[in-house]
Amino acid sequence: MTELWALGACELALLVRERQVSAREVVRAHLDRISHVNPAVNAITVLLDDEALRAADAADEARRRSEPVGPLTGVPMTVKENIDLAGSATTLGIAALKDAVARHDAPHIGQLRAAGAIALGRTNMPEFGMRWHTDSALRGPTRNPWSARHTPGGSSGGDAAAVASGMTPLGMGNDGAGSLRWPAHCCGVAALKPSLGRVPQDGGHYPPRPVPFAFQLLAVHGPIARHVRDLRLAFAHMCGDGAGDPWYAPVPLQGPPVLPPVRVSVISTPNGGSVDPAVAEAINRAARVLADAGYVVTEDQAPALERAGEIYYQIMSAYSRVREQQPPVETVAPGAFARFWAGFDAAWTAAAGTRAFDPMMERAVIARLWDAWMREAPLVLAPVCTRQPFEVGADLEPRWQAGWPAAIRMCVAVNLVGLPAVTIPVGSDPDGLPVAVQVIGPRFREDLCLDAAAAIEADMGPATPIDPR
């Protein structure tokens, strides 16, 4: 029999619902797995074992009394340290916030718990979530379960590594510049970046917590899992209440039917730039799978892609740093992050290109161009990143930093225009590291993205969980 920690969220929910296992057994199996592998990975930073077991016992007692149970009852999850989880510190990876205990759950976390999910622990992230590698002065580095020499990605690297190594079937992260999709690529798991406005960003605070405009516009919460069906299950229970978020839109999870065959634009070389051979082969392989599944795939290029990247960096630079309200970075996040931040500033500035008179006006133009383009082919198959996972420490080097904005441009363009995307692993490269692709859809059509990702997964099969290497 497969170990409980190796099963996905849907399988575990079914076993608990049919009384084949108890919620306590599920939680206990994952706690045991955490004790076995987390010392080598450092993905889970705060273990909530007592609280998780109490929640499991409460769920089992409710079942014994024949009370209704939620669709996620007994399913463990982990929660990134920049998401509120009542009774636990929301640190943002910063030592100064190690005691900033949240009084309330973030809206989507509360909804997941109401559906029966059980929080096992908090997960690692870089300071502020503003680095593509997971390490912090507060928690130390997270290691990629596939190769300790290579990054697990960032900023949701703790959740991606925890899911990949079987410590949890679900990880709750967020994505402002590929922070769900890039770690999923690095760790060989699946991730869903929802549309802007689909999942409430924040809520339950009075007075409302200030959130910089760039993060309101560009960042979203989303799940990480080993199976597409688990992304779909978690997502269905993350977006039912806007909680006062002004961007929230109560849109049905299932959109209107698209007459088959569904067309897919394949972007194997974004803007004709260089692409790692393993990434290019992954795109080609995924395109063949979709064609065999009945999709019509056509090689194409995204409109205004380079300018989309430039406008992204202009908005993020101008409206995320809040210099007037926080002390210098080196005093808040010393060490490697301060070095990264100082070095990446030049790359960030160069990537912003020619300054727009009004970046939001240009964003609207680009969004309309993408909308018109995707009316012909509603799905886009593209790299998450044109590079493979880098060796730990490479992102501190000026040459790496100079080339990174172009490598991750497809990701940040999706953030700019607020579209959904699903990352799905597609095999491994010659060095044994995972390779992934992303399927991008029109706004609020996560269902189309998930359908296509499921077709790719059906041919490839999941690559995880794995033991740390």
193 among known catalytic residues: no
- Residue 469 belongs to some domain of the structure: no
- Residue 465 belongs to some domain of the structure: no
- Residue 415 belongs to some domain of the structure: yes
179 among known catalytic residues: yes
Alpha-carbon gap, residue 206 to 219, rounded angstroms: 22
- Catalytic one of 136, 156, 179, 265: 179
Report whether 225 contacts 171 (CB < 8 A): yes
Q: What pLDDT is attached to residue 205?
A: 58
- Residue 424 belongs to some domain of the structure: yes
Q: What pLDDT is attached to residue 299?
A: 97
- Residue 466 belongs to some domain of the structure: no
- Catalytic one of 22, 88, 136, 155: 155
Q: What pLDDT is attached to residue 331?
A: 78
Q: What pLDDT is attached to residue 273?
A: 83
Q: What are the Cα distances from residue 228, in Å, to 65, 73, 186, 454, 457?
A: 33, 19, 17, 6, 8
- Residue 336 belongs to some domain of the structure: yes
Tally of domains in the chain: 1
Q: Which amino acid is located at 400 in the chain? A: W
pTM greater than 0.85 (yes/no): yes
pLDDT in tens, the chain (469 residues): 689 999 999 999 999 999 999 999 999 999 999 999 999 999 999 999 999 999 999 999 999 999 989 999 999 999 999 999 999 999 999 999 999 999 999 999 999 999 999 999 999 999 999 999 999 999 999 999 999 999 999 999 999 999 999 999 999 999 999 999 999 999 999 999 999 999 998 765 555 677 889 999 999 999 999 999 999 999 999 998 888 888 999 999 999 999 999 999 999 999 888 999 999 999 999 999 999 999 999 999 999 999 999 999 999 988 886 555 667 777 788 889 999 988 998 998 999 999 999 999 999 999 999 999 999 999 999 999 999 999 999 999 999 999 999 999 999 999 999 999 999 999 999 999 999 999 999 999 999 999 999 999 999 988 899 999 9
Q: How many CB atoms lie within 10 A of CB 210?
A: 10
Domain hosting 158: range is: 4-460
Residues near 223 by Cβ (< 8 Å), separated by ≥ 6? 170, 171, 172, 173, 191, 192, 230, 231, 234, 235, 238
Q: What pLDDT is attached to residue 207?
A: 59
- Residue 26 belongs to some domain of the structure: yes
Long-range contacts of 286-292 (CB under 8 A, 24+ apart): 286/381, 286/424, 286/426, 286/437, 286/456, 287/381, 289/455, 289/456, 289/459, 289/460, 290/264, 290/381, 290/452, 290/455, 290/456, 292/459
Q: What pLDDT is attached to residue 348?
A: 87
Tokens 């995924």: give the residue. 286
- Catalytic one of 22, 80, 268, 320: 80
Q: What pLDDT is attached to residue 272?
A: 81
| CATH code assigned at 401 | 3.90.1300.10
